[in-house]
Structure 1
Amino acid sequence: MGAAVTVDACGTTRCRVALPAVPLGRVREAAARLAAQRGHWPVALLSGVHNPWGYAQRFLDAWQVLDLCESDALVDAVAVRLGPDVVLWDSELRLAGRAPARRTLGEARCWPVEPLAGIVAVIDLSGAANEVDVALHDVTSMSVDAEAAHGAQLWVRYMPATSLFVRAPTHPAHRAMARHDPLINYAGRPLWLVRGENRAGNDFVTGFDVAAPNWSPSNVDDALVREDVANR
C-alpha cells in the first residue's frame, strides 16, 4: 500500500495500491469498451468477472481480471484487514455512470458466509497509472450507498478462510439473491484460496468445470437484457 492510508467512521480503509500493469490495463480497456458499446448492461453479465467459467468470459478476458484479484499487492492490502487466510469469492465490474446494483438489497444480505465477515475492495479504474485508489469496506458495516461514483470500478469480494461459504440454496443470502437477481447463482460459484489455509472446510471444487451447453452468446445477452428489464 502507498503511504497515505485513511480509515473513516464506518471502518473503511482508503489507500493507494500499485497493481500489476498488464491485467489492470486489460480490465480498464474492457470497462471502456463495454461502456462504449451500449448504455446499460444487465447486472448478471458483469457479475463474477474474474470467473473464466462465468458469463463474463464472453465479453472480456476473465483470466486477466483473476490475475488482478489474486495480485500480491491487492491481497496484501486485504490481508491487513482480514488476516492471513483469504478467499476470493466474487467480483463485479461497474461501468462509468452505472448505479450500484445492490442499493435496494444491501451488501451484507448477499453474502452466504458464516460467520459473516469480509472485505469489499473497490478499485477505481479511472486514470492510467498503475497505482490506484482502493477502498476496503467491511461487509458488516458497508453502506448501501457506498462508492456510488460515476467512474468505472472493479468490486472484489474477499472473505476470511476462517468463515464458511455456504452453498446450500436455502441459505438466506441465496434466497435474497434469487428474488433480487435470479440469474446470479452464488451457490455454484468457484472459490479461490488466494492466501493462507482453508480453515473452515470450504468447498474449493465446485464451479471449476467446463461450462455446460448453453444458449449462444448473443442469445444469452438478449435473454439477460429482457430478464433485467422485466425485473425492474
Structure 2
Amino acid sequence: MLSPRWTLLFLLMLMLLTVGETLKNGHAPRWLVNLFCKRSSGLTQVPWDCTGYLHCYTQGMTTYGVWLNCPASLKFDATSQNCLRVSPSCMNMDRVAHRYCPIYSQLRFPHPGSCAMFYDCSRKMPDKRYGLKIYENECAYPTLFDPELAVCRENEMSNEISCMNPPSSRCDYKTECLSVSSQCLQDGYSPKPGTIFSSYHILCKAGKIVSNLQCKLSEEVF
C-alpha cells in the first residue's frame, strides 16, 4: 500500500497528465464533495458528468475530494472503476434530472444541449414558451453556465469556462428568440403576433423573433 505522501504525489501526477473539460481538473467544489463523499471513499462517479470522477478520501475527521478527468474520448464507469470508451453507468441527463432533482432541489448541473443551458432542480414546471422541459433552464445572453460554480457568468478572455458547444449567436439562446414560423416567413420587420394597427412590431431573422420593438411615437402604428 502506498504511503500518504506517495498517494498525494500520484494524484498530482494525474492532475498534470489529464486535460480538463467541465469541472477543473485537480479540484472539486465543496458542495460536490459534501454531496458524494459523505458515505463513500475512493473513486466516485458524478452522475451528470462522465468525463471524469471524484476521488474521495479522508484525513482525520475531514472528508476531501479531488476531481480527475479521464483521458480524452473516455468515460468513467462506476462498475469497473475505470475510464472506458463506452461507460454503461453513464445515464441520460434527462433521467439524471428526474432521479436527483426531487431529492436535491437546489442542484444545478450542465445540459448536453448547449453550454448556455443547465438543469435547475428548483424548476418544477416546464416553460412551453421557450420549449424548456421540467428542470431545464437557460442562462441569459451572453452568459454561459459554469459547472464549477454552478452559476451563469460571462466567459472572459481567459476562457475559464470550458465549453464544447457554445451558442454561436444570440438567437441560439432559446429564451432570446422565439420561433414563430407563421409570422417570420422572411427576414425583416413584421407586426407583433396577435396585434392589429399597433405600434408594436418584431424583427425576424432565420425564422425567429430577434427583437420585440415599439414605434418611437405612441400615435404611430406599424
TM-score exceeds 0.5: no
Higher helix share: 1
- TM-score when normalising by structure 1: 0.25
**Structure label with greater radius of gyration:** 2
Higher strand share: 2
Asked which structure has the greater RCO (Cα within 8 Å, sep 6+), the reply is: 1
